[in-house]
């Protein structure tokens, strides 16, 4: 019998990290916790590599790089929030490790660089929507694909068109109707920016043009995404809204772990709804698609401006509607850069400073 797969979990105290530890615990013959990172919180877990601290600190970053490049490490699950995940992801890929990627911002800000570093099969997606697309594409030829359809629950506000988004509270924005996630991605779901980021991510992961990646509202969150083929047929992946399934697939592909999640009784699948996305009320998807198409550092600006705007909203510094406005203003003000890693990091730095400098003006409106 082969040894268990050695897994390093970056961001072990977050929602995805905690669920990853659960998957590892439930499958000791297949998976072994090799290393993990922790921030302010602790998992109280033991591993050969245990790295505590904050990304960006030189000692922390060096110890993480040592962990993900260790010859005994087989797969690195990246669940560090936001842009901070880029450096360890690139380090793992350059060391020829398989990366299970939960942090969509990595591909948003530096998709071309990351995919070149990954080569064939170097990245396995952990996003539920992209995992669904990945599964639908198994055994299919890329030229047979007409479009990818990413489903969205709609977040807490889609079904309430009467709600004034200027008056949304932090508590309301964090009250997601379906998924249990960290605060940043939960707010992204409320603004629909998560779907804009996912369009860019799908474009890079699957090599599909941006205009062939669409979004639809599916409030039940049972159909995780679909693929439409040139012959007019559709493939969909269905299941409970539980991240343990995409995590299990990413860690053990091509094997499917038994009982990763509870099966979905067919009688629960009645009344599934699909609706068009109102991009006037939720302009994040078109904003993200345009930024990705323009390139030259703009995807990094989109991502960084959004991260800083979400932080400002959660801190009570700007209104909910100011999140997307901040991103729009940053993109409009950006003069353009390049697509090297240095260019991307500079665009990221510039966007963060821009939003911080202008958050007070947004609050005053």
Rg of the chain taking only CA atoms, in angstroms: 20
Query: Quick one: pLDDT at residue 179?
Result: 58
- Give me the CATH code for the 295-365 domain, please: 1.10.1740.10
Point out the least confidently predicted range of 146-160, 161-175, 281-295. Answer: 161-175
Position 177 scores a pLDDT of 63
More confident residue, 360 or 244: 244
| Predicted pLDDT at 58 | 87
Outline which parts of the chain fall under CATH 1.10.1740.10: 295-365
2-48 per-position pLDDT tens digit: 899 999 999 999 989 999 999 999 999 999 999 999 988 888 898 99
- Residue 138 DSSP label: T
Question: Which residues of the chain form CATH 3.40.50.720?
Answer: 5-126
Mean per-residue pLDDT, 355-362:
82
Which H or E element spans position 164?
none
What is the rounded end-to-end Cα distance, in angstroms, of the chain?
64
* β-bridge mates for residue 33, sequence order: 7
Using a 10 angstrom Cβ sphere, with 0-12 exposed, 13-18 middle and 19 or more buried, the burial of residue 218 is buried
Q: CA-CA distance, 144 to 196, in Å (whole number)?
A: 24
Whether 213 shows a pLDDT value over 60: the answer reads yes
pLDDT of amino acid 49: 92
pLDDT tens per residue, range 47-98: 999 999 887 788 889 999 999 999 999 999 999 988 889 999 999 999 999 9
pLDDT at 1 over 50: no
Closest CA to 91 of 81, 99, 80, 83: 99
CATH says 5-126 is which class? alpha beta
For 339-356, what is the HEC assignment? CCHHHHHHHHHHHHHHHH
Tally of residues, the chain:
365
- What integer best gives the mean pLDDT of the chain? 92
Does residue 12 have a cis bond before it (omega within 30 degrees)? Answer: no
């Amino acid at each position: 019998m082969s040894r268990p797969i050695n897994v390093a979990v970056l961001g072990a105290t977050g929602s995805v990290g905690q669920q990853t530890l659960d998957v590892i615990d439930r499958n000791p013959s297949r998976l072994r916790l090799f290393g993990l990172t922790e921030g302010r919180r602790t998992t109280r877990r033991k591993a050969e590599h245990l790295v505590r601290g904050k990304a960006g600190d030189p000692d922390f970053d060096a110890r993480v790089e040592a962990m993900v490049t260790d010859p005994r490490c087989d797969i690195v699950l990246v669940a560090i929030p936001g842009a901070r995940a880029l450096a360890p992801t690139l380090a793992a890929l350059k060391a020829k490790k398989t990366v299970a990627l939960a942090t969509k911002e990595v591909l948003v800000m530096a998709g071309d660089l990351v995919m070149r570093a990954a080569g064939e099969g170097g990245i396995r997606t952990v996003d539920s929507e992209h995992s669904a697309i990945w599964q639908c594409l198994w055994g299919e030829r890329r030229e047979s694909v007409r479009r990818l359809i990413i489903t969205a629950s709609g977040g807490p506000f889609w079904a309430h068109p009467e709600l004034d988004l200027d008056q949304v509270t932090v508590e309301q924005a964090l009250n997601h109707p379906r998924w249990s996630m960290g605060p940043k991605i939960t707010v992204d779901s409320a603004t629909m920016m998560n779907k804009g980021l996912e369009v860019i991510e799908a474009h890079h992961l699957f090599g599909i043009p941006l205009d062939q990646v669409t979004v639809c509202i599916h409030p039940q969150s049972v159909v995780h995404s679909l693929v439409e083929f040139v012959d007019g047929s559709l493939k969909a992946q269905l299941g409970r809204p539980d991240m343990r399934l995409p995590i299990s697939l990413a860690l053990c592909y091509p094997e499917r772990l038994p009982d990763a999640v509870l099966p979905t009784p067919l009688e629960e699948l009645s009344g599934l709804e699909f609706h068009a996305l109102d991009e006037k009320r939720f302009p994040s998807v078109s904003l993200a698609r345009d930024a990705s198409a323009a390139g030259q550092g703009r995807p990094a600006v989109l991502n960084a401006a959004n991260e800083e705007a979400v932080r400002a909203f959660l801190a009570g510094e700007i209104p909910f509607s100011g999140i997307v406005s901040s991103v729009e203003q940053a993109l409009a003000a950006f003069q353009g850069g390049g697509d090297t890693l240095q260019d991307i990091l500079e665009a990221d730095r510039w966007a963060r400073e821009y939003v911080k400098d202008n958050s007070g003006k947004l609050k005053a409106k």
